[in-house]
Structure 1
Amino acid sequence: MLRQPLLARAAVLFALVSPLAAADTLVFTAIPDEDETRLQQRFQSVAGYLADELDVDVRFIPVTSYAASVTAFRNNQVQLAWFGGFTGVQARELVPGSQAIAQGVEDPEYKSYFIANQATGIEPVESDTSPEALKGLTFTFGSQSSTSGRLMPEYFLTRDLGASPNELFKRVGYSGNHSRTVSLVQSGAYQAGVLSYTAWENEVEQGNVDPERVQVVWESPTYPDYHWTVRGDVDERFGEGFTERLKQALIDMDDPDLLASFPRSGFIPASNEDFQPIHDVAVSLDLL
């Protein structure tokens, strides 16, 4: 799953963090699921909030891929991460003692939107199963490690249509993030694709979706997804009780602008057990 070129790029990026900063600063990252500029704006503000609440220096470091976020967490180059369901499971498998501590109010019942270029003629359907009309199209997932943009959609497709994506579709791609999935399907580079419902809604709000060219054709069943995971050794590093203080700071986040940037209506407690369904699906698909 974690390819050497991605590991190398992550190593170069995190080499820029000085030893002093690594020792005295809580460093966190996030999966690059949307446009990088938006992510920078969102998480720089979160860093400021956490620094004020925890009375420690907090730094956000971007990564270039989902795999790089897991690598950085494994190598202790970051101590906290905003992961998707699958990347969180991967990270905790690699770093025993790590804990999922908080998730968005909406995240226990997350979902994916399957979208199609209007030229396909596919009509939206309301169903518990993936639409047969997707068969034979060109199709793009998001990142290969995305929960809402790959893992759960692949599970639903395989379960409902009885074949793997490579068998179902004329051509399969991986866009890298949700924003790019919208662009690729809207342009016709791929006839259909899948992304998180919040990313779709954000793209609509930003004016990046032309309803004359692309539309949602199926809404998946729900599953647990995004959450904050922290390494198990942060109490040793920042003082006894730090994990609980961090968890409470995330749950207490109520600034409308901060919450809107996720977008979430608030944060609630999370535990590793909440993501056992994601672990089981990943194992069933031979992805873990």
Structure 2
Amino acid sequence: MSISRKALITGAGGGIGSAISRALDARGYSLILVDREMAPLDAVAATLRAAPEKILCDLSSREEVERLCDRLGREHADLDVLVNNAGIVVPGAVTGLDQAALDLHLEINLRAPIRLMRAAAPLMIARRRGAMVATVSLGGVISLKDSAIYSASKFGLRGFLCGFHQELAPLGVKVSGVYPAAVDTPMLHHEALHGGSVLNFVDRVMTPEDIAAATLKAIDTGRLEVYSPWSASLMARLFGSFPWMIRPILPLMEKLGEQGRRKFLARKDLSAQQH
């Protein structure tokens, strides 16, 4: 008789979240899907083999995050996997974004996943098993103009994962980050049309299923950092180590990225929507 395993996914109604949900469902996990609206969760649930539990939670609200954490402790002490997938990006210069945009990045991309991992950790430590994975970004390795606030939140998340990984590994709990390059989701479409970094399109654009596969790899191995694609991470990690190199080479990379962006828009039939 197989043992049922339980996984919680935030941002489950989005492109990457839905792909991760389907991948875990195929493995036989009992799923808890979290998002801020019910309609996307219903749509994802309709694609799954087993009916999931659906929880509404706006991760920008500290009160709602606390209620979710309390619910984990009361109802899901047997949680095996936590996937912090929810995220937000609002492209733009720092001086052009208002304080609300800054706060949203910090609350959703950084504070909420940390809070959820702190809530899940005692449950997993008590059983000496479990895996926590966060969808980070190559924006957590290298920071570029017009994404400074986004990168600040993701740099912070990467730093947290590194230290937390070291703390929990001896206790039998895995902590990992998945670092996608550009992924073909509505968020990327918005960036492509509204001033997001053209460097998203220097390398090939990944699919949500690619990131779901990387997430499963992180769950299985407990590796601290899983990159998708690995090739794109090489340049990001090089520039992340030597950030002074970014400005001299940026014009060339932007030229290549703009060519890739135009090809992407044409391939997705989005060119007519461009402002």
- Normalised by the length of structure 2, the TM-score is 0.30
Structure showing greater relative contact order (alpha-carbon pairs closer than 8 Å, 6 or more residues apart): 1
- Normalised by the length of structure 1, the TM-score is 0.29
- The structure that is helix-richer by fraction is 2
- The structure that is strand-richer by fraction is 1
